[in-house]
Amino acid sequence: MLTQTFLPQDVIRKKRDQFPLTSDEISSFVRGIADQSVSDSQIAALGMAVFFNGMSAEEGANLTLAMRDSGDVIKWQEYGFDSEAPIVDKHSTGGVGDKVSFMLAAIVAACGAVVPMIAGRGLGHTGGTIDKLEAIPGYDTMLDTPKFVDVVRRHGCSIIGQTSNLAPADKRFYAVRDVTSTVESIPLITASILSKKLAAGLHSLVMDVKFGNGAFMETAEQAEALGRSIVRVATAAGVPTSALLTDMNQVLGTSAGNSVEIYETIEFLKNPHQADTRLKAIVNDLAAEMLWRAGLAETVEQGAKNADRALSDGRAAEKFAKMVELHGGPADLMENPEKSLSLAPYRKPVFLPRSGFISSMKTRDIGQIIVSMKGGRAHPDEDIDHSVGFSGFLQNGDAVDAETPVCMLYARDEDQWTMAADTLIKAITVSEEQPSLSPITQKIIRD
């Protein structure tokens, strides 16, 4: 009996002609991506066919699982975890000043969940969770799987970077998409995000899908389409998922950079009653959804109360401090952050040349300022300067005048500070009347 030979061009032709792909066809193609038997041109052709013709939820789930299974997949029961352990994570599509993962891992773990968080580095105008953690001296972001599991078992949470063994097929697929203009394909974005997240063996997931002038999805409509796709595909793959659509039309919180965002994280956890209101709102919304999804709260409202209690009684701060220590960071980071976190030496406040109320800001441009100061990267292999950035950043609706700075700017020297300040001033609009503000969480999508 003859065995049917897998031909990549047959899969490409089928998707090109708008026919659904079977699980076997998708799995064979993904195996070819991982073992190099499928060429870059064939990957590009399938990517373009999906870009124009889309995928069903079943196809998306099959693609996600095939890319997940192209590398290591953590099976928590094999490491002694109970099959009913509430293993939950959160993923953000990226923004400027987004340090939410640090607070969430600590808060949700303090409430009894298991939070194995695998995060990424920044590229372009958005900052990376791993880059920010590496502003902490000694913090090892690249633990191998046994060490990662050990920290999670001992402590309930750990944040590490993506290893080369995590969904390697996705890494190659994305590299080809990046140079063939198919990055924006919602089915492929969905599979790329979920393949890496599901490799962590999650039981549930909460997505923070950002929209606005500081997000990759600029409109609420685009964000909703992505959020619905992720929820649909993740659910089909067996992982109950929610997606929160959140506003990214301004810097999130009062800092943007690397060391400065760790400073803000520490202050948030130690003094939550003094935290920026928008930042606290999104942290609470996401934590509540994660606790409900994990089965640790009967309702989202109860989850919010549990999260707030873990913040106010100091348990979340203790979780973050211990996680840093277990990863090799300083044991006294929370008490003495100035001993460990480097801030650029040329620091001066930035004043706007007009008085009134901040009505809008070009958030992407603000993120690009950090990149221009080497606080972010334009190419994946670039080193970054953790010490530059902004703190004390005012929000839309805040009043400014000749004595009220919009932020404190940390730069390496006067020339860098002047360049950054000039660009920042142009990125902020001031109006005579205070603008009306909308809530940061605009919609929640559930299965």
Kindly name the residue from 27, 28, 92, 158 that is annotated as catalytic.
92
Active site residue 37: no
Active site residue 363: no
Domains and CATH numbers, the chain: 76-163+200-336 (3.40.1030.10), 342-431 (3.90.1170.30)
What span, in angstroms and rounded, lies between the C-alpha atoms of 174 and 184?
Answer: 11
Kindly name the residue from 69, 89, 208, 308 that is annotated as catalytic.
89
For 107, 110, 286, the CA distances from 100, given in Å and listed in that order, are 11, 15, 9
**SS3 state of residue 302:** helix
Active site residue 91: yes
Active site residue 355: no
Residue-by-residue pLDDT tens, the chain, 447 positions:
444 688 999 999 999 999 999 999 999 999 999 999 999 999 999 999 999 999 998 999 999 999 999 999 999 999 999 988 999 999 999 899 999 999 999 999 999 999 999 988 876 788 889 999 999 999 999 999 999 999 999 999 999 998 778 889 998 998 899 889 898 899 999 999 999 899 999 999 999 999 999 998 999 999 999 999 999 999 988 999 999 999 999 999 999 999 999 999 999 999 999 988 999 999 999 999 999 999 999 999 999 999 999 999 999 999 999 999 999 999 999 999 999 999 999 999 999 999 999 999 999 999 999 999 999 987 777 889 999 999 999 999 999 999 999 999 999 999 999 999 999 999 999 999 999 999 999 999 997
Kindly name the residue from 27, 93, 126, 129 that is annotated as catalytic.
129
One-letter amino acid at 4 equals Q
Kindly name the residue from 101, 192, 204, 265 that is annotated as catalytic.
192
What span, in angstroms and rounded, lies between the C-alpha atoms of 224 and 139?
Answer: 35
Active site residue 229: no
Kindly name the residue from 68, 90, 125, 278 that is annotated as catalytic.
90
Active site residue 177: yes
For 25, 31, 62, 70, 137, the CA distances from 5, given in Å and listed in that order, are 11, 14, 20, 20, 53
Active site residue 197: yes
Kindly name the residue from 68, 121, 125, 177 that is annotated as catalytic.
177
Contacts of 122 by beta carbon, 8 Å cutoff, 6+ apart:
94, 128, 131, 376, 377, 384
The DSSP bridge partners found for residue 206 are: 90, 242
Strands 356-361 and 428-431: antiparallel
Whole-model pTM: value is 0.93
| Per-residue tokens: 327 | 């990863």
Kindly name the residue from 196, 232, 293, 322 that is annotated as catalytic.
196
